[in-house]
A and B are shown apart, each in its own frame.
Chain A
Amino acid sequence: MEGVSQSSFTLPSDSNGVIRMRDPANESGNSTGGGSSGTRSSENSSSGFSRRAFLRGSSAAAAAAAMVARPETASAQKANQGAEVVSGFKTITLSVNVQKHQVNVEPRTTLLEVLRYQLDLTGAKPVSQDGSSGASTVLIDGRPVMASTTLAIACEGKQIQTVESFGGAQPDSAPVAFVQHDAQQCGFCTPGFVVAARAFLDKHPHATEEEIRQGLNGNICRCGTYANVIQAVLSATKGG
């Protein structure tokens, strides 16, 4: 496991600190580009980040292993034959919601799989493999991260916080605001949105409505709760 140091596993993040991967197909495939998602892409391109570059990076073996199940990454894996490949199960300790858990992982095991299948913490949702929906957002050392694109082995020694920690007898103000403004319909995207909102509010406690519209573009809702989410997050700001 020494081959994958924690410090080498860093992904670029947007203004909200949300880590995301950029898919080159995104730019050529659908010619929409009208949304602020397009704006975000251009921000990312200034940092020169791409999935290909990511896979060529120092954590390439781990990343390729994580996606070995998908045929399209086979070529990327091949391109990295020089890198050290780690394999097999290993028991590691993860700190989730202030509790230590021994979990059994392979290098390819994502944090999302561990949370959902080994710890039965199913608040973070598997909506997209590439993290572009934001539904699997959790906090790692206070920063919002997609659990679906984060390897479990990269999370040892870090504080992982899931949406479940916002519940309990005295729920966090973010989910409470979501309820009060009815910022949910089917609710499948809601936990990811709530975690992203919490992180956004921590960073921008006095955010304006315009800043909320700009800052929470990492999460997709299919039922269309955005109008309510804006009101919910606005109400949870210090001025709200």
Chain B
Amino acid sequence: MADIQYTWPSKEKASVLGHSVLRLDGLEKSVGAAKYTYDINLKNQLIAQALGSPYGHCKIKSIDIAPAMKVKGVVHVELLRKAGDELQWNGELIAMVAAESEGAAGEGVAALKVDYEVLPSFTHDENLEEAKKRKLTTKAGGKVELQNEPGDDDDEEEFEAAEIERLFKESVHVVEGYYGVDAIAHCCLEPHGSTVEWDGDKLKAYHSTQNVSGTDEGFATALNITSDDVEVECNFIGGGFGSKFAADYWSVAAARVSKETGRPVKFMLSRDQELKIAGNRPSGYINVRLGADKNGVVQIWDSHHWGTAGTKGRGVSQSVIPYVFRPKNFRRLATGVKTNTVGSRAWRAPNHPQACAMTQTAYDDLAAKMGVSSYDIFLRNLENISSRQTADVYRRELEIAAKLMDWKAKWHPHGKGEAQGSIVEGMGIALHEWGGVANNSSATIRIHPDGGVESFCGTQELGTGTRTACAMVVAETFGLAPTDIKVHIGNSKLPVSGASGGSTTIGAISESHRRASLNALAKLFESVAGKLSAKAEQLEAVGGVIRVQGDPAKSIGWREACGSLGLKPLEASASHKRGDKSSLSSEGVGGVQMAHVAVDRETGVVRMKKYVAVQDMGLVVNPVTAESQIYGAVIMGISYALYEHRLTDPATGAFINSEMADYKLPRIGDIGEIVVELFEPEDQRQRGVIGLGEPPVISPGAAISNAVANALGVRVPVLPLIPERVLDALKAGKA
């Protein structure tokens, strides 16, 4: 067999890649035929619900399950915690009740009698002084980088302090500011959970997961069986955003209940539990001082930030501060704050959205102080960046974004716009970076003698259009249409593929499916070469036929070609290892976004007018789903910039807005106009496929905060920019 070239066709030659293909599972989803974990109903199944701790911090004095067992329809009560246990956060599950119906399960949970000793709790992570007083802070690292080095005799710390002060003295413009972003919940619309059943000692778990190939081990370890006896299935998942990688203790408990009762069990978290315990993003608050030269190029950055990722403290990693912009001299310090909240989970682009909102707000305040356009300050500071994308790409993206926003015509200095009654408008910018490397992935392609094609891969459809992308890559390779390919994903018994996290899926499946189908095609060419009186390496698959390159008259239809396989289907597989160099995929993207808002100075309400997102992602596989993902990221960004945050009760430590009506998310009337531009010049396309899920969700916090600051002339320091905070900032600004 000749050496196979694992490359992509050029833009001109590609017949499927780069062309918008509608989701193959779109209609299934739209008419309710797609079965999510919550929708799996097994014969004779029990419905389980659970009781969670009502307090931020408490000790269980006693548990009485007898009243629950007396409820009609209740079959089993499983204790997850016992008397004497200390519970460190609101919502931690205590007991699970399995019953014949939702009603009976709920009544059973309500009948459980638990006595608690309420213990002191702390949940107000923004309050660093109080946290220090209670000894709830931890060192979370830091770094000092200075161009000048201390002399041999200098004390290092003294030198650093003096050097930093010298740099500030030299600075023409100095900005001091406070910024932050509250903790938010993932709030997946399909809550975490499973429907499980046993066949002897084998467990089948329909599990809502973004890690189909990787959760079997979690079940196996917890249940003391081996992974080969666990099958995890998830054909559709109702949102994950980084929170659905594990088997989770409640799903393991459901498996125990199933074993105990000999019946299938469905357990899904309630809405309240989903928000309380199934995923949140760490908060981040920062004090910053920066100094810039006369042109507004920052020469020195000095910051201390803090926040919480739960009972262990942590918070936003100091490694991404200052974000993208990285002056030659900087000092950054981080402190973790321990709170009575459940440990955070990865949330779309971990650390980056907070870092962006804690950095680029300060850069915008520099523009405000100088009375110059934020555009110019952002452009000039591109000379000092730390990013996996180049300054040149940011410059090109800034230019496109400015055109789409009509930035120059619409811009006014901060706080100097013309008011329409109580309404003032403003614009802001932010930019971001991300990796998006291709994850590990294996795939098998089967070509049937009758021309049918199937692909097999243990990846998952997270909502990004993965099923469609798999079909597109195979179809491109075989010269077929995506609808010709039967795609099998969503089961742990399929060839192993990485979890969908960190924007690693599109690269992963593009690698595995392209390689496996090129391997399959090479075999098919060998089989059919004789019929075309040509050598296998002279053949190509284009437009539903296999033909001799340069001699298109010598061709044979796909189906007929497959007939040459005889009676047995042809199979070929391939694997990609994360980090392996390849011309099919790479990593490192940028992206520039601009926001235009209207703020009512009387009510404090911020409304989105227009939002522009320019995003590079290497080679674009499916433009329509790529655009959708960017729209979605922007809307999720509008959400944490203006609406959503976790609110806790200082007395009990309880998460008090954990129902859908109280946990504000934007609705269709709240998003304004959104313009998306896929930035794919040939130099970027040449880099191959790069993931897209995280990058566009990073900038909105900073961009919208900057737009509000531009409108008002004062900074509303902490996201979300709810009316109360806008009004407070206006009041403080006047004082």
Contacts and interface: CB of A to CB of B under 8 A. Distances in A.
A113 B31 contact: no
Interface in A166-224: 166-167, 171-172, 175-176, 178-180, 182, 184-191, 194, 212-214, 216-224
Contact of A227 (B189, B631, B662, B665): B631
A167 B31 contact: yes
Interface string B246-287: 000000000000000000000010110000000000000000
B391 interface: no
A189 B660 CA distance: 13
B189 A220 contact: yes
A96 to B, nearest CB: 13
B27 A26 contact: no
B463 A227 contact: no
Nearest to B239: A186
B107 A217 contact: no
B31 A224 contact: no
A185 B671 contact: no
A132 B239 CA distance: 18
Interface stretch (B32-40, B160-168, B360-368): B32-40
Contact of B657 (A29, A36, A133): A29
Nearest to A106: B103
B722 A31 contact: yes
Contacts of B26: 178-179, 182, 184
B729 to A, nearest CB: 14
B32 A163 contact: yes
Interface string B42-56: 000001010000000
Interface string A132-147: 1101000000000000
A179 B23 contact: yes
A188 B22 CA distance: 18
Given A116-B41, A127-B189, A122 B101 contact: no
Contact of B101 (A35, A117, A163): A117
B31 A164 contact: yes
Interface in B469-491: none
Contacts of B462: 186
B35 A225 contact: no
Contacts of A189: 189
Nearest to A65: B103
B661 A35 contact: no
Given A36-B670, A222-B239, A224-B634, A188 B33 contact: no
Contacts of A222: 187-189, 239, 241, 636, 665
A175 B271 contact: no
Contact of A223 (B107, B463, B674): B463
B315 interface: no
Interface string A25-42: 110011111111111000
A113 B30 contact: no
Nearest to A188: B238
A191 B636 contact: no
B32 A122 contact: yes
A127 B239 CA distance: 12
A40 to B, nearest CB: 9
Contact of A30 (B23, B629, B664): B664
Given A127-B271, A188-B239, A227 B32 contact: no
Contacts of A238: none
Contacts of A133: 189, 660
B724 interface: yes
A167 B27 contact: yes
A120 interface: yes
B607 interface: yes
Given A184-B26, A213-B669, A34 B189 contact: no
Nearest to A24: B661
A interface residue count range (under 10 / 10 to 19 / 20 to 34 / 35 or more): 35 or more
Contact of A135 (B189, B647, B661): B189
B669 A217 contact: yes
A34 B631 contact: no
B659 A129 contact: yes
A109 interface: yes
A38 B636 CA distance: 19
B568 interface: no
B633 interface: yes
A10 interface: no
A109 to B, nearest CB: 6
Q: Which of A33, A38, A187 has the most CB of B within 10 A?
A: A187
Contacts of B101: 109, 113, 117
Contacts of B241: 222
Nearest to B628: A182
A94 interface: no
A185 B463 contact: yes
B27 A171 contact: yes
Given A108-B103, A127-B271, A222-B239, A35 B659 contact: no
B353 to A, nearest CB: 14
B75 interface: no
Nearest to B186: A222
A83 interface: no
A167 B28 CA distance: 8
B363 to A, nearest CB: 25
A212 B669 CA distance: 8
A33 B605 contact: yes
Nearest to B274: A127
Given A29-B647, A127-B271, A230 B35 contact: no
B238 A23 contact: no
A225 B662 contact: no
B508 interface: no
A150 interface: no
B239 A35 contact: no
Contact of A122 (B38, B188, B645, B724): B38
Contact of A132 (B268, B636, B661): B661
A129 B628 CA distance: 28
A1 interface: no
Contacts of B188: 222
Contact of A32 (B27, B607, B723): B723
A182 B189 contact: no
A32 B724 CA distance: 8
Interface string B182-206: 0000011110000000000000000
A128 B271 contact: yes
Contact of A178 (B30, B268, B663, B664): B30
A34 B726 CA distance: 11
B458 interface: no
A124 B32 contact: yes
Interface in A39-74: 39, 68-71, 74
A31 B635 CA distance: 20
B9 interface: no
Return the 8 tightest CB-CB contacts between A and B, nearest first: A123-B32, A69-B106, A224-B635, A188-B238, A187-B29, A186-B463, A224-B632, A167-B31
27 contacts: A23-B661, A25-B659, A29-B657, A30-B657, A30-B663, A36-B670, A38-B605, A68-B106, A69-B106, A74-B110, A117-B47, A122-B41, A127-B190, A129-B271, A163-B32, A164-B33, A167-B27, A167-B31, A171-B31, A176-B27, A187-B463, A217-B667, A217-B669, A219-B667, A222-B241, A226-B631, A227-B671
Interface of B: 22-23, 25-27, 29-36, 38-39, 41, 47, 49, 101-103, 105-107, 109-110, 187-190, 236-241, 268, 270-271, 462-464, 604-607, 624-625, 627-629, 631-636, 639, 642-643, 645, 647, 656-657, 659-671, 674, 720, 722-724
Given A125-B189, A224-B639, 18 more contacts: A23-B659, A30-B647, A32-B722, A36-B670, A109-B103, A122-B32, A162-B32, A171-B31, A179-B30, A186-B189, A187-B30, A190-B29, A212-B668, A217-B669, A221-B189, A224-B636, A226-B667, A226-B668
